[in-house]
Amino acid sequence: MNFIVSRDSLFKNLNALNGVISSGNTIPMLDNFLFQIEGDKLTLTASDIDTTMTAVIQLSHVEGEGSVAVPARLLMETLKLIPDVPVVFEVNEELTHVRFTAGQGEYDSPCFDGVDFPLLKPMEDPQTFHIDAQVLQRAISKTLFAAGNDELRPNMMGIFCELSEDHITFVATDAHKLSRYRNTSVKVDQFASFILPKKPMNHLRTVLTPVMGDVQVDYTTSPTSNFVSFAFENMVLYSSLREGRFPAYESVIPKDNPIVYKVSRVDFLNSIRRVGIYSNQSTYQVRIGLSDELTTLSAENFDFSNKAEETIHGELTGEPMDIGFNSKFLREILENMDSSEVELHMSEPSRAALVLPSENEEDEDLLMLIMPVMIAQ
């Protein structure tokens, strides 16, 4: 089996797939890329069992067909250091050795028969919808940061995706903060919902950044087939879905919030960053004193006699109030918003506060929520 492929094309596609490979694989075969030749097409595959990603490259010079697994780290480090020249791959008949030639260099490596590479079974009767690549990338970016890390609550370690005839909704929460992204440009006839795992969504967010056009999403949620796939350009990412029921997130979003504080997002964020340095390193509490005039942000760490206080300008509607937040969580929320101004919608110091952009993008509705912390007296 011999073929010639452009170094840049091969490296670009393998680099996209490389993020799927786990550093702690328990199956040695998964430390390799799978190369499959069929006709004039080269299909590249990387997997960690739960997530699999493929890319297809059209070849102009190829002899033979078959599949072979090539060590990923060795190949990536070599391709990274060679110029953009045609790379000639030669695999022996026993599928135990591969030689690739680039320019003046020849590189030899052991390889393995591709039949031993674990592949996913095809999805059973999948449902399908299409979503703009940049809408999907934005939806993941605006919610993934809020997903949980608690292994005891695996149903919260991902992004909840909800499809309806009116919109698509993405939600993530760790019980301290919540982010809900909704877009009305994607609609389906039949209601569906599932939980997307964190790791593949983080990788998908990265590879979608330069992609334009639609992504085809196929999914199945039956007991025997619980998978989702995202197909775009020449690539497909497959992932298993998280088991369990996502929390009833709508019930924790407060509806009556008579106190509204409008402020510059950048000014508020920078103040939170500075004052948060002086907060207690277990609670990260920042106290926010809302008033008709200046708003005061303060933090104190009694163990080290550290204290900070700042004032910023904002616009308050409703009664003055003191409320405390975890500065790390509030900072994450503000860092994942784009609008020049944000609004905090509140009712009392012990109830959740909503953080909203002053203006939403077209077809979008972004809502973030943060739970307060008890103010230290």
The C-alpha atoms of residue 162 and residue 170 are separated, in whole angstroms, by 6
Rama region for 144: left / alpha / beta (φ>0; ψ in -120 to 50; rest): alpha
Residue of 338, 362, 363 lying closest to 141 (CA atoms): 338
Residue of 255, 193, 266, 259 lying closest to 228 (CA atoms): 193
Residue of 352, 274, 263 lying closest to 308 (CA atoms): 274
pLDDT value of residue 108: 95
Domain-by-domain residue ranges, the chain?
2-116, 127-251, 254-370
Question: pTM for this one?
Answer: 0.94
pLDDT value of residue 377: 57
The C-alpha atoms of residue 350 and residue 120 are separated, in whole angstroms, by 48
Options 3.30.70.270, 3.20.10.10, 3.10.150.10, 1.10.1040.50; CATH of 127-251: 3.10.150.10
pLDDT value of residue 376: 60
Per-residue pLDDT in tens (0 to 9) along the chain, 377 residues: 999 999 999 999 999 999 999 988 889 999 999 999 999 999 999 999 999 999 999 998 999 999 999 999 999 999 999 999 999 999 999 999 999 999 889 999 999 999 999 988 888 889 999 999 999 999 999 999 999 999 989 999 999 999 999 999 999 999 999 999 999 999 999 899 999 999 999 999 999 999 999 999 999 998 888 999 999 999 999 999 999 999 999 999 999 999 999 999 999 999 999 999 999 989 999 999 999 889 999 999 988 889 999 999 999 999 999 999 999 999 999 999 999 999 999 999 999 999 999 998 899 999 999 999 988 65
pLDDT value of residue 302: 84
The C-alpha atoms of residue 359 and residue 310 are separated, in whole angstroms, by 26
**Is there a contact between 182 and 218 (Cβ–Cβ < 8 Å)?**
no
Does an H or E element contain 251, and which?
Answer: none
Residues 317, 323, 325, CA angle at the centre, nearest 5°?
120
Tokens 């879905």 correspond to: 241
2-116 belongs to CATH 3.90.470.20: no
pLDDT value of residue 292: 84
Separation of first and last alpha carbons in the chain: 74
185-189 long-range CB contacts below 8 Å, 24 or more apart? 185/131, 185/132, 185/135, 185/363, 186/129, 186/130, 186/131, 186/135, 188/127, 188/129, 188/163, 188/164, 189/165
The C-alpha atoms of residue 156 and residue 159 are separated, in whole angstroms, by 8
- Report in angstroms the alpha-carbon separations of 230 from 128, 131, 206, 214: 10, 10, 13, 10
Does an H or E element contain 136, and which?
Answer: helix 133-143
Domain pair 127-251 / 254-370, same fold: yes
What are 49's two structure tokens?
A: 């069992």
* Amino acid sitting at position 99: R
Q: Which CATH superfamily is domain 254-370 in?
A: DNA Polymerase III, subunit A, domain 2 (3.10.150.10)
Per the DSSP assignment, residues forming a β-bridge with 356 are 343
Residue of 99, 77, 69, 72 lying closest to 87 (CA atoms): 99
* Amino acid sitting at position 215: V
